[in-house]
Amino acid sequence: MADTVTSPLPKTAAPRQSTMIGIALMCAALFCFSCLDATAKWVNRSVDPMVTVWARYMAAALLTFMVINPRTKPGVLKTRRLPLQLLRSLLLFASTICNFFALKYLQLVETQSIIFATPLLVALFAGPLLGEHIGWRRMAAVAVGFAGVLVITRPGSGTMHPAALLSVASTVAYAFYNIVTRMLASSDPVATTTVYSSIAGIAIVTPVLPWLWTTPPSPLTWFLLATTGFYGAFGHWLLIHAHARAPAAILSPFIYSQIIWMLVLGYVLFGDWPDAWTFVGAGIVIASGLYLLYRERVKHRKPERPA
């Protein structure tokens, strides 16, 4: 029997395989983040949302310090820009607490559709804060995206729940959190930034926890509280590895696939089904975000050299 000769793979096969793995990791990370919000909404029915926030930070910090700590990474707490690290941590905490309180009253799809406006805000504020100014096309996309948020919340119609304002506040805080993260990327390593983010929530909530404490009513609730930190930490770990495998320009559009997970989890766990206006508004926000990504790729596309 003749030996089987295996032909070498094309040069493009390995990069393509790496990209596909990156996309799969990205989708898995988004599933973890969706499970985090769904779990928080579930446990918030029996405990104070501040307890959920504390449990999310505590569990995530324990998982983080198992890998990143002064012993495994000496000098991990040293930062060149301490005020920015503290500001970034506070912004993430503000975004988390507003989102968890909003989840107590809103559907998963509603909160996520509003949070999808984050890239729009980043594009809007990156000009004055980072010097990354946008043209009229992207400015128009930002305006259309905000119109989509108004369609979702429908202020003045009598149907807007006040908790929608918390979701908007969470989105604003998260947008500035992303901007500050980009400011820190050139000065501090990722490990340092990660550790500061884990510490902040514990340091803020723990002193007031005795006055807010609600004892979880069942072992299942205890377990779900613990999993919030796991979903957050593991999701970010998957996200980092996804970006190591594939370019951000390819991965970014898949962020909007999270709406599918939110829709499924909301319907299965809580029997929620968004109304038509929520779908319309979410579609407008997603379309605006995708157009911003497209314009960003066009802006940075290098012209082809003539043969």
Over the chain (307 residues), the average pLDDT of each successive run of 10 is 42 70 90 94 92 91 83 82 90 93 92 90 83 80 87 75 92 90 81 83 89 89 92 85 79 86 93 90 90 75 48
Identify the DSSP state of 133. -
CA distances for 235 relative to 13, 60, 83, 255, angstroms: 27, 11, 27, 13
Instruction: Give the dihedral of Cα atoms 34, 275, 110, 146; nearest 10 deg.
Output: 130
pLDDT at residue 221 in the model = 92
- Pairwise CA distance, residues 306 & 144, whole Å: 38
pLDDT at residue 191 in the model = 81
pLDDT at residue 176 in the model = 92
Q: Domain extents for the chain?
A: 25-300
Give the list of residues 6+ apart from residue 149 with CB closer than 8 angstroms, or none.
113, 114, 117, 168, 281, 285
CA distances for 162 relative to 98, 158, 186, angstroms: 12, 10, 39
DSSP SS3 for 277: helix
- Pairwise CA distance, residues 100 & 103, whole Å: 5
